[in-house]
Amino acid sequence: MNPEGKWSCEYCTYENFPTALKCTMCRGAKPLRSSEDIYRLKADESSKGAASEPRRWMCGACNQVNTNEDKCSSCFSRPPSDIASQIAAANLAEQLQRTRISDCSAASTKGVPLAGKWSCSVCTYENWPKSKKCIMCGASAAVAPTIRLSPSRSNSSAVTPTRQPSPEVLDHTLNEECTLIKNPGNNYEYDRRRREVDWGWLNACKGVVDGDPAPVAAYLSAGGSPTRTLSPAEVQILSRDSAFDVGHTLVHLAIRFQREDMVAMLVSSIDGGSSSGLKRVPSYIAPELASSIRRHATTIFNTKHSRPVPFPFVTEFTTFVLPSDIEDLPAAVQEQLFDELLDKDVQQQLEMEPAVINWSVEITVQLGSRLHALWNRSQGDCLLDSLMQATWGVFDRDSLLRRALADSLSHGAHVLYPRWLESEAVQARQLEFTLSEAQWAEDWAALVKRATQPGASLQQLHVFALAHVLRRPIIVYGVKFVKSFRGEDLGYAGFEGVYLPLLWEPSFCTVSPLALGYTRGHFSALVPIESSTPLLAHPSGVKSKTIALDDNVSSVCYLPLVDKDRKLLPIHFLTKQEMGTEERLLRKWLDVSVTDGGLLVALQRAPRPPLLVAQMLEEWLNHYRSLAQMSRTPYSNVIPPHEFSSDGETDDE
């Protein structure tokens, strides 16, 4: 009651005068809120006597208080046979009214309606007993508890519960309502809050925790943002404090619960492009083996500094290639494998006109040296990740190469800085501008700082330094111009070319290079598929050099040293004395041959993979072998493996 003595209608919330027995707006009955109302009923009935007609009585079907009427003014039901049943109904009405306005902590009585009505489990609207569906939201009454007060009985059994839901259904409904809205207010507010809940987003969060990628993929395909954070209300709705925290994104949840396949899908979705989707690179299928490989990689670095070249360097050479068993899989499974392994966006950019890779039919088809761009994380460490992929087949999660890079620039500045300064000065003269010594020193300090900061983008100098850390040449096949999203040229890229470890002695390095691809601000590892046929000492199409093979070499890939216009790829960071001798330097540092078509190529010899890498690839292949097994019917014939090849799928790639 308010200070003026008015009472609020429980159906439309209209404030009525104290003497009104019905709501002026909706004709709803005045609620019995206090013991005075019940005492007044008792006094009225006792004054008339048991045999006399009651002066005021409450209808058991619709809870309407009537005065000197033979029938209820609302539902035309007859009055009860004696006063005892009427008082029991009044007491029950008061108890149910108190239960309805209590807090959600009394969940055991949540949803219990007033006499004769049932409360909708969806919107909490109280419907009449004969309603089979809620008149507000259309929900069925099957799961709602219905309590019927029969006016024809005078004993305590007049309260007859019907259609009781199971305890599990009732508890789930009550918990959900209490979690969503502690103070429901009216039906409109409750419906509004439920409509505002993004169940697709919450199901994606639950999917990450439960390891189910389907709701995550559905959320992303519907345009959901992977960077969206959980709000306090959403954490309360999920009601799992041990799993969900305010401010967490799907990426946080995937990392926390070690869902590496979902991390790949979410990160690729953040990057955008056609590469979004579920990624299953070998290190994600076998995370334990990938961790063991990274731990082993830390043991092959020599960090002792010695003059005149104080670089940390590797003591073991490895080259990652895709296993030839891929070609034994059915075409549909091969397509799925490449979708989940490769970066189709990068592959398309490097192969579109003017093509940067796979532009020679002689190299790709006759010599079987087609290059594939592996999917890579785009978090500022793509250069380091791509080099680890090209050597060990894993990502540089432990920042092993970044630490070695920072160490190289810090302790090897006295040999790196002169070559960098001379190269930059040549480019500055070509662009007709000059810098002071202070400006050159400032630019060098910025490059050194970038090497120490995780996630910072790297430049040509860093690729040159990493060639010395890995003790082998690095060939970068990159776009010549960086383009905008509308296809406009933004500037010269400058990454394409050959990076030789010129500060080492050639005998201290391997002649087998690594191949990387560069697109708009992103590096990718370019790897071939291992040849499924035995290597020949004199492969068809290559002349001028005999290939020496041993038992440790599994395959040979031919990497072009010229572009599509047959121009020699540039060699970075040459001194003034070395300029003009590019082809001689290539033959000195690389195993160079010439094809029948006159193309200058470098031979990349892939040794047999280390045991841990072989085990990781085998576990990764077993995933797709099982898919192929499930796709075959019991009566299908096994097709010979040589009938399957990835060479015919280049247009889609």
d(CA 1, CA 18): 9
Closest to 542 measured CA to CA, from 567, 562, 559, 564:
559
Residue 15's identity, in one-letter code, is E
Chain centroid to CA 125: how far?
Answer: 39
- The arrangement of strands across the sheet holding 542-543 comes to 542-543, 592-595, 600-607, 553-560
d(CA 341, CA 389): 12
d(CA 36, CA 188): 32
172 is catalytic: no
51 Cβ contact list (under 8 Å, min separation 6) = none
Beta strands in 46-144 (DSSP E): 56-58, 65-67, 118-119, 126-127
Evaluate whether 411 touches 538 at the Cβ level (below 8 Å): no
d(CA 299, CA 297): 5
- DSSP 8-state code for residue 608: P
Chain centroid to CA 261: how far?
Answer: 8
d(CA 161, CA 150): 11
382 is catalytic: yes
Closest to 324 measured CA to CA, from 335, 312, 334, 339:
334
Convert 245-259 into a string of H (helix), E (strand) and C (coil). Answer: CCCCCHHHHHHHCCC
Burial of 44 (0-12, 13-18, 19+ CB in 10 A): middle
d(CA 466, CA 50): 104
Closest to 143 measured CA to CA, from 167, 125, 126:
167
Residue 63's identity, in one-letter code, is N
- The arrangement of strands across the sheet holding 497-499 comes to 372-373, 522-527, 514-519, 474-478, 497-499
432 to 427, 429, 565: CA distances (angstroms) = 9, 5, 28
Residue 428's identity, in one-letter code, is A
d(CA 369, CA 363): 6
469 Cβ contact list (under 8 Å, min separation 6) = 311, 312, 313, 314, 401, 404, 405, 408
d(CA 636, CA 506): 55
The one catalytic residue among 9, 62, 72, 382: 382
SS3 content of the chain, % helix, strand, coil (to 5): 40, 15, 45
d(CA 101, CA 85): 25
Handedness of CA 604, 610, 613, 615 (dihedral sign): positive
Which residue numbers are catalytic? 382, 522
